[in-house]
Amino acid sequence: MFERAILVHFNEIGLKGRNRGRFERQLRDNIVAAVGHLAPRGVEKVASRLLVPVHESSAEAVLSCVSKTPGVSSASLAFITSRDPAEMERAAVLAVREAGPHARTFAIAARRSSTDHPEPSLEMNRRIGAVVQAETGLGVNLTRPDVTCTVEVVQGEVYVYARSVAGPGGLPVGTSGKVVSLLSAGIDSPVATWRIIRRGAVTVGLHFSGRPQTDSVSERVAAELAGVLAQGGGFARLYVVPFGDLQREISLAAPPDIRILLYRRLMIRIAEALAAEERAMGLVTGENLGQVASQTLDNIAAVDATATLPVLRPLIGHDKNEIIIEARAIGTYELSIQPHSDCCTLFIPRTPETHATAAQLDKGEVDLEIPRMVADAMDSLTWIDFPCHAYRAPKRFPVQMPEAS
């Protein structure tokens, strides 16, 4: 039998010039951490790819894990053979069968990364294709095959693979710093969070619960969302703040029409206090221009006036239906539509302000003890940890038992 390996392809990090080594090392470390005991032989670098040798029995599990890792453009389940022509042919038959039990057509795509291999690629295609055709009875289709079997001659070895899974692309987590993402239990913020994870940022989530003014259902939903986001190894921790009493304080001291904006400002301040502990360099929200009253340009500007860190809004120009499609694709949509009480709707009138100014919000806050409120929130934080290789926990909030992954 042939040895098996997952061949990891990455595009964008190939473009990083002098930083390339750092990006590749981070990707390798992240994959080692993610697949751990399933790939005891570690991860090797082979001709601008990474190779994860696996046992046949854990191959599918490693493939699935690697293909969720940011920085990976695709992952392929390869047979490793020598340059013996008969071995390549046998492996190609196995690879085509494995990739397409219902396929009717196939093509062979031979490549030589090693130029010392004498047989030209076109010859290899013909030779191996003839054997696969005879053994499987499938037809050859060079333009739109159901299965493409790649045969790659690399240094001393040959990789033969037809089963590939697309990865998320993007950059390895740990190459873009750290952010605090405001994670509600809604549809948008998990998608926004995932986009930033995919760009290589270590992410900690911060969820504001309406507790004790509401139940804790949104906390459970946020934790489930965090579990999905953590699958790529980029979501390190979910913090939860019981926010209901602080909202109550705001509602007692401030006019109804700007309450939601004052909640938002307090959320931003608490997120920044957390970012200072975490040494995070930015905040993330799922905001979307004009989607709801609190997300008009005026209101975004009035809330942002309190922020000192950049507030990243990856979904700002997206339509809701585009966001929903993405939420479905990353597996968060069904969790986000579970019924839960949203803390933002606490003590809110039907017609909130849509054109607030920073000065108006400053005025609305004069009777509030903002520093004390932020300190109360920081004292009441709880958190759940997820496996994230590139994460370093702050001293004040040490690592707890990781969630079962």
Tokens found for residue 110? 């031979």
Provide the minimum distance between the beta carbon of 294 and ligand ATP in the complex, in angstroms, as a whole number. Answer: 5
Establish if 183 lies at the interface with ligand ATP (CB under 6 A). yes
Establish if 375 lies at the interface with ligand ATP (CB under 6 A). no
Of 69, 92, 75, the closest CA to residue 140 belongs to 92
208, 235, 383, 397: residue in contact with ligand ATP (rule CB under 6 A): 208
Provide the minimum distance between the beta carbon of 14 and ligand ATP in the complex, in angstroms, as a whole number. Answer: 33
Of 383, 19, 30, 398, the closest CA to residue 205 belongs to 383
Establish if 159 lies at the interface with ligand ATP (CB under 6 A). no
Closest to ligand ATP by CB, 183 vs 262, is 183
Provide the minimum distance between the beta carbon of 305 and Mg ion in the complex, in angstroms, as a whole number. Answer: 21
CA distances from residue 32 to 35, 38, 44, 56, 375 in whole angstroms, order as listed: 6, 9, 10, 18, 39
DSSP H helix total and E strand total for the chain = 13, 14
| 201 within 8 A of 181, measured Cβ to Cβ | no
Binding residues for Mg ion, rule CB under 5 A, total 2
Side chain identity at residue 202, one-letter code = V
The mark string for 344-363 relative to ligand ATP (x by CB under 6 A, - otherwise) is x-------------------
CA atoms within 13 A on the CB side of 44: 9
The strand pairing partners of 165, in sequence order, are 75
Q: How far apart are CA 145 and CA 58, in angstroms?
A: 28
70, 170, 186, 244: residue in contact with Mg ion (rule CB under 5 A): 186
Establish if 81 lies at the interface with ligand ATP (CB under 6 A). no
24, 89, 152, 188: residue in contact with ligand ATP (rule CB under 6 A): 188
Of 393, 45, 40, the closest CA to residue 237 belongs to 393
Stretch that binds ligand ATP, among 72-80, 96-104, 205-213, 395-403 (CB under 6 A): 205-213
176, 184, 332, 341: residue in contact with Mg ion (rule CB under 5 A): 184
Q: How far apart are CA 329 and CA 324, in angstroms?
A: 9
Establish if 287 lies at the interface with ligand ATP (CB under 6 A). yes
Establish if 190 lies at the interface with Mg ion (CB under 5 A). no
- Helix ranges, 157-312 (H): 188-198, 217-229, 244-253, 259-278, 297-304
134, 292, 325, 329: residue in contact with ligand ATP (rule CB under 6 A): 292
Give residues in contact with Mg ion (CB under 5 A): 184, 186
Give residues in contact with ligand ATP (CB under 6 A): 182-184, 186-189, 206-208, 285-287, 291-292, 294-295, 343-344
